[in-house]
């Protein structure tokens, strides 16, 4: 269950979310047909899911490789301290890094994990020197280059009660 919604979601809500996770641009008519509702009922439920925060928004799924960012780098960062001020200063600075597309504070030996998309190894060297190594309080940076993407999902199939072979997963084989 999604905890931030004011009312519990039912099976139809989850079917709507599943369809929208595959195609966020689907019309209310087509959505209604797919989940066995009228277009009016589908539109009303979609609006409620948006207002409750179960749907945060809609975006285009960009193929970064086709846009020149062929290499994905997973970056693990350890800080010199985990003091509140150190964490806040790092988080404020990392948000300003133009090459970073994802960053999270994590448990374990690493403090933060981020994803950086680059055009080449030389491009990553430049980003490492000009962005990553200049972040405040960094004690260690470990970089791993993605060799092949096996799968990417907009939502885990378990959310919809499925095993993993559903239309909400998109596998990359190129």
Domain assignments of the chain as residue spans, ordered by start: 11-60, 71-145
CATH class of 71-145: alpha beta
**Cα dihedral 14→16→20→22 (10° resolution):** 70
Cα–Cα distance for residue pair 30/37, rounded to 1 Å = 10
Determine the pLDDT at residue 62: 92
Determine the pLDDT at residue 2: 42
Which CATH number is associated with domain 11-60?
1.10.10.10
Give per-10-residue mean pLDDT for the chain (174 aa): 64 95 95 97 97 94 94 98 97 96 96 97 97 97 97 89 52 40
**Cα dihedral 124→130→134→140 (10° resolution):** 20
Phi first, then psi, for residue 9 (nearest 5°) are -85, 145
The structure's pTM equals: 0.79
């Amino acid at each position: 269950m999604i905890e931030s919604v004011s009312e519990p979601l039912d099976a139809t809500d989850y079917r709507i979310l599943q369809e929208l996770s595959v195609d966020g641009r689907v019309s209310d008519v087509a959505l209604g047909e797919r989940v066995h509702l009228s277009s009016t009922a589908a539109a009303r439920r979609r609006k409620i899911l948006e207002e409750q925060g179960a749907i945060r928004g809609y975006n285009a799924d960009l193929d970064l490789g086709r846009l020149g960012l062929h290499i994905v780098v997973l970056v693990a960062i350890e800080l010199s301290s985990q003091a509140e001020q150190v964490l806040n200063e790092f988080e404020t600075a990392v948000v300003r890094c133009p090459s970073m597309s994802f960053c999270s504070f994590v448990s374990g030996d690493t403090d933060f994990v981020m994803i950086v998309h680059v055009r080449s190894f030389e491009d990553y060297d430049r980003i490492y020197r000009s962005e990553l190594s200049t972040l405040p309080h960094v004690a260690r940076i470990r970089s791993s280059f993605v060799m092949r993407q096996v799968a990417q999902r907009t939502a885990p199939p378990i959310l919809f009660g499925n095993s993993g072979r559903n239309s909400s997963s998109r596998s990359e084989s190129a």
